[in-house]
Structure 1
Amino acid sequence: MKKIKSVFDLLLAATVSFEALAHSAPNLPKVMTVPEGVAAFGWDFESAEVTTQDLGQGLHVLFGIGGNIVVSLGDDGTFIVDDQFEGMIPKVVKTIGDLGGSEVDFAVTTHWHFDHAEGNLALGPQGTWLVAHENSREMMKDAHVVNMVGLAVLQEAYPESAWPDITYDSEMRFHLNGQTVELMHFGPAHTTGDTAVFFREANVLHMGDVFNNTGYPFIDADNGGTLDGLITFCESVLAVINDDTTVVPGHGATASKADFMRYTQDLAVIRDRIAAHVKAGMDLSDIIAAEPSKEFDARYGDNTMFINRAVKSLTYRYHP
């Protein structure tokens, strides 16, 4: 465990007002704080339960509020991927203890969004080594608005104690608990700093929010995410895994490689249609009217946020 110096947990970046951020990004819905956003999603830390799924070889998935957590337990310690919210950490830590683990030694962040990384606020000061792609660390140092179309959330800068201690560029490996743990980054996708984590011996993959198994993905286009990149990221990971791999999405139930491949292929079809419309000069309302995802909506649900963010990210490609 690392030793954290006693420091004031102050925001090191300048405070940015809601009004200033909203003015710099026109057409935003009302900008909320993270607690307001949590309430808007109907999440309640006090009543929330953490459930688990055993993946074998000391690996478990924890489902709670926010992103899915993968836990690796063994003689080398406790290694987790994503840590949800600070308010969920007591329940997460208790669940890890019930599974036979102890204090969290390493926490990998798949990306910097609050529902996957705010547990860093508790784990960092406790001495956990925090790990992420270098772009996620940079994003965590400043405030950003996450525009989800129906609502927007101001992600405040994280205090320094919650910043990743260890970062990487394209790939990195850990060797612990009998696993070769491979961290992979293939460019901007859901965000600019996404990490896929592959536990090779157990054949378990955590995709973070690059793979959403509850509906269409969210593309954080205002902060550098791209639909093109998300599809490329998925295709790159598909080349690494095999038919027996268990795929853990950022949200939703665990899936197979076949499920993940279908998701990737479906997004590619929709992307090509939207790209053609954008290249032809159609605006957002016309593209929505053209129903580019029509035959997929029954599978993935409401497409409002996805189409909006996809159009924005593809507009950058053709009309930078």
Structure 2
Amino acid sequence: MNTLRTVSRRRFLTATAVTATAAYITPRSLFAQTQQPEMVIKGRETAVKAKITTQKLRGDVSVLLGSGGNIAVLAAKEGKLLVDAGISTSRPQITEALAAINADPIRILINTHWHWDHTDGNEWVHSVGATIWAHENTRYRMSSPQHIDLFNATFPAAPVGALPTILFNPSRTISDSISTLELSHYDPAHTDTDISVHFLEADILHTGDTWFNGAYPFIDYSTGGNIDGMIAATKRNLATGTNSTTVIPGHGPVGNKQQLSDTLDMLSAIRDKVADLKKQGKSIDEVIAAKPTAQFDGKFSKGFVTPEMFTRLVYQGV
């Protein structure tokens, strides 16, 4: 039986998986947590009790919702492939959800970008036998402290066991006799580390955080993101696959091309309004007072990015 492989036939590491247990918070990891920003500490505390929901999609692909970014799962020939790892303290629930899919070990983990809510589980997933794949910028960002101005928070370098070891730029294909995955780097959008994962046979696209379904997106200018890049990424997502492609966002419910199109309309309209006001010499406070997001607030203000915050993010990039 062949393992998943790249087009170049590079073999994956296939270390024997070990059984995950709830006893994973060691004194060392507790110490490491004290060095984290408050948002990470609180996020991990909340994720301890997070409910993980499994949604079966097509072609042996499922998605786990409820802990950090959405986790795609492919039940491949010789083990599971995950896209993103969620929050570390949800390990018991994630492990249980994965076991309910099948008893196979995790062989491959793909990170869509560097942010902690998508990579916090990397270390434990690697410890049970998975090889971690990502764009080369993701390893660069994770290997050194990263400061996000919007949160006034500095994220320390990740432990060695959490770092991706299979790197690519700009794209890579993974395949076996059943499934083919295309990994493609976006130009800077949400960050400068973003990739998409397209499950070709299943016609499923994981966009990472280039799409927040039903919410205003966070754009991380501190690590390369910008509003024009988010618009370009959304256009690329719309051009990928077919009209029937199932789309897994970084956050929010699994969606479709029509919802992506609605997001594109929102991003483009707000960007143009804010740019016009800024060109007129309006200050950020004056632009916020003009409520450039008003027509979209009923549909897109359900996430943590408020209309005011999103206006500030757009203003910064135009």
Answer whether TM exceeds 0.5 for this pair: yes
TM-aligned CA deviation for residue 126 of structure 1: 3.2
Aligned to 2:53: 51
**Partner residue in 1 for 2:283:** 283
User: Residue in 2 aligned with 1:10?
Assistant: none
Paired residues of 1:73 and 1:101 also in contact (CA < 8 A): no
Quick one: which amino acid aligns to residue 239 of structure 2? A
Q: Which residue of 1 aligns with 2:106?
A: 104
Q: Distance in 2 between matches of 1:237 and 1:101?
A: 33
Other-structure match for 1:245: 245
In structure 2, do the counterparts of structure 1 residues 240 and 45 end up closer, same or farther at CA, with 3 Å as the change threshold? closer
Structure 2: distance between partners of 1:167 and 1:128: 14
Supply the distance in 2 between the matched residues of 1:194 and 1:86 (Cα, whole angstroms).
Answer: 21
Partner of 2:81: 79
SS of aligned partner of 2:137: helix
User: Structure 1's 155 and 242: CA in aligned 2 closer, same or farther, altered over 3 A?
Assistant: same
- Distance in 2 (CA, whole Å) between partners of 1:174 and 1:43 is 35
Q: Which runs of 5+ in 1 are unaligned?
A: 5-14, 16-31, 315-320
CA shift for structure 1 position 40: 4.9
Count of residue pairs the alignment pairs up: 286
Identity of aligned residues (%): 33
Matches within 5 A, 1:85-124: 85-124=87-126
Shift in Å, 1:161: 1.9
Matched, 1:264 2:268: no
8 Å CA contact retained: 1:72, 1:177: no
Shift of residue 131, structure 1, vs aligned partner: 0.8
CA shift in 2, pair 1:311/1:80, >3 Å: same
| Structure 1 residue aligned with 2:28 | none
Equivalent residue of 1:216, what SS?
coil
* Residue identity matched to 2:140: E
Counterparts of 1:42 and 1:214 in 2: how far apart (Å)? 24
What is the correspondence of 1:197-236 to structure 2 with a 5 Å cutoff?
197-236=197-236
**Whole-Å separation in 1 of the counterparts to 2:165 and 2:121:** 15
Which secondary structure does the structure 2 equivalent of 1:231 belong to? helix
Aligned partners of 1:231, 1:177: CA distance in 2, in Å?
35
Does the alignment pair 1:309 with 2:313? yes
CA RMSD of aligned residues (A): 2.2
Cα deviation 1:205-224 (Å, max 9, x = unaligned): 11111100141000001221
Helix, strand or coil for the counterpart of 2:251? coil
d(CA) in 2 for partners of 1:108, 1:80: 6
Q: Structure 1 pair 42/102, CA: closer, same or farther in 2 (3 Å)?
A: closer
Match of 1:11 in 2: none
Distance 1:177 1:111, change over 3 A: farther
SS in 1 for 2:46: coil
1:151-170 CA distance string (max 9 Å, x none): 44332111222111111212
Quote how far apart the aligned CAs of 1:241 are: 2.1
Whether the 8 Å CA contact 1:191–1:220 is kept in 2: the answer is yes
Q: Could you say which residue in structure 2 is the equivalent of 1:134? A: 136
Task: State the one-letter code of the partner of 1:78.
Answer: K
SS in 1 for 2:57: strand
Letter in 2 for 1:93: T
Aligned residue number for residue 297 of structure 2: 297
Matched-pair contact (CA < 8 Å) for 1:62–1:70: yes
> Counterpart of 1:135 in structure 2: which amino acid?
N
Amino acid at match of 2:69: G
Verify the 8 A CA contact 1:74 1:177 in the aligned structure 2: no
